[in-house]
Structure 1
């Protein structure tokens, strides 16, 4: 029964993520949802900026701290390993929901594209950015990333084994295509307000710092294999000549 509960726990975490991301898309697009990135704050400008920076810091702290190996070793003394990743997803869902619901918009317009063709282009790139998030995750292991694989193996009474280091498709071009996809969703908009700009800048800075921290952990795990990957593949921008082969796997 506990195995069934663990699997359902992971499934609901996954569908919770889908729901929050759907809200996130509407939040950044400024449609449907009651509070968007552009909704003007009733607070003084200084207070609004302070709250927004605090929300971004909360998001960054939760994502970075809970993803660290040292935290996981401590955390799994309390949370069973099969649902450790699902618990991370639950926490991420809650924190992102707090950010979206508490965001203080600043409606000063930075740019406003009126040309129809350019508007369509910006919206298309925005949608592509969001759609690339699940596409990129499927290139590695979508269900492992969201904790479903771990819970399923536990349900089937099978041992969980970490996935080997691979660099399939876009991972042979840049080391962090997932962050590139998120950045596209944050930045591509026909109308950029100061509040949206603060959100995009804050999240982009966080992703840059997070990538550096993550790579330190990956070097500890994979050693020279990952250092070679760093030398041959750009972090966010493809290199003209990397000598990498898509779908190449590297195992310990």
Structure 2
């Protein structure tokens, strides 16, 4: 019982650290100093070359940790060391801590790339917040608490195994296969003030997202087989079709079958 309580406390702590990193991300990317004392363009000045190197290393550290720990092969080895119920919470905790390190040590490069005002600025700010909303909502459309390790810890507390997550395509997942990543891309790129530092962050993050999705798609095909292959043929990865695609009753039947 003590071990189960410890895992539950660990999961709750990991989730709390994630919440801190998420709020800081809102302020960091949007340059809202009310949410974060240090943002993507607000901080101590530094040499531009040093800033590019340090920022690139910080983003690379996050990309490596985030991708390697998500691979099934790594998980199998990792769970020989830590309890299975704590695996996801550990992933969330390390990802959040590296994000906090990135925000803390980020070197601004404030030279402007574009700076728009008026209605265009309002529109871009609205798109940015829409991106954050899409990203957060996407986690609830699948299973927010499973994604962040809380469901696994609660199941362990009851002495049960967490239920296997079925493959499902609710709401936004009928429009694109990865609405969570679409939300991040909107949040990163839609800004009325694009600095060189922000451009570096957005460009490297986009590159990582594309590579990460390629790896994740391989894992999903291996896990769900032909069901995911059909889904992948029917639904675009990131950009929704503006004109109706293959939305036939046969396609809807395939989704129901996958569920």
TM-score by length of 2: 0.92
Distance in 2 (alpha carbons) for counterparts of 1:248 and 1:37: 43
> CA shift at 1:150, angstroms?
0.5
1:45 aligns with 2:48: yes
Secondary structure of the corresponding residue to residue 167 of structure 1: coil
Secondary structure of the corresponding residue to residue 192 of structure 1: strand
Corresponding residue number in structure 2 for 1:166: 168
> CA shift at 1:59, angstroms?
0.9
> CA shift at 1:41, angstroms?
5.3
**Cα deviation digits, residues 115-155 of structure 1 (max 9, x gap):** 2x222211111112112222111100010000001000110
Q: What does 1:116-131 correspond to in 2, within 5 Å?
A: 117-131=119-133
Q: What does 1:219-234 correspond to in 2, within 5 Å?
A: 219-234=221-236
> CA shift at 1:43, angstroms?
2.8
Which of 224, 238, 241 is matched with 2:245 structurally? 241
Corresponding residue number in structure 2 for 1:83: 86
> CA shift at 1:235, angstroms?
0.5
1:10 aligns with 2:14: no
Q: What does 1:66-215 correspond to in 2, within 5 Å?
A: 66-115=69-118, 117-215=119-217
Consecutive unaligned residues of structure 1, counting only runs of 5 or more, are none
- Asked whether the 8 Å contact 1:38–1:195 carries over to 2, the reply is yes
When residues 40 and 14 of structure 1 are mapped into structure 2, their CA distance, relative to the original with a 3 A threshold, is: closer
Secondary structure of the corresponding residue to residue 114 of structure 2: strand
- Asked whether the 8 Å contact 2:227–2:258 carries over to 1, the reply is yes
Distance in 2 (alpha carbons) for counterparts of 1:55 and 1:162: 34
Corresponding residue number in structure 2 for 1:28: 29
Distance in 2 (alpha carbons) for counterparts of 1:98 and 1:38: 16
Distance in 2 (alpha carbons) for counterparts of 1:130 and 1:119: 17
Distance in 2 (alpha carbons) for counterparts of 1:27 and 1:77: 37
**Cα deviation digits, residues 143-171 of structure 1 (max 9, x gap):** 00000010001101112232011111111
Secondary structure of the corresponding residue to residue 77 of structure 1: coil
Q: Judge which range, 34-43 or 216-225, deviates more.
A: 34-43
Distance in 2 (alpha carbons) for counterparts of 1:18 and 1:241: 37
Secondary structure of the corresponding residue to residue 205 of structure 2: helix
**Cα deviation digits, residues 60-97 of structure 1 (max 9, x gap):** 10100000000000000111000100000000111101
Distance in 2 (alpha carbons) for counterparts of 1:250 and 1:14: 30
Distance in 2 (alpha carbons) for counterparts of 1:249 and 1:16: 38
* RMSD, matched Cα: 1.5
Distance in 2 (alpha carbons) for counterparts of 1:249 and 1:128: 31
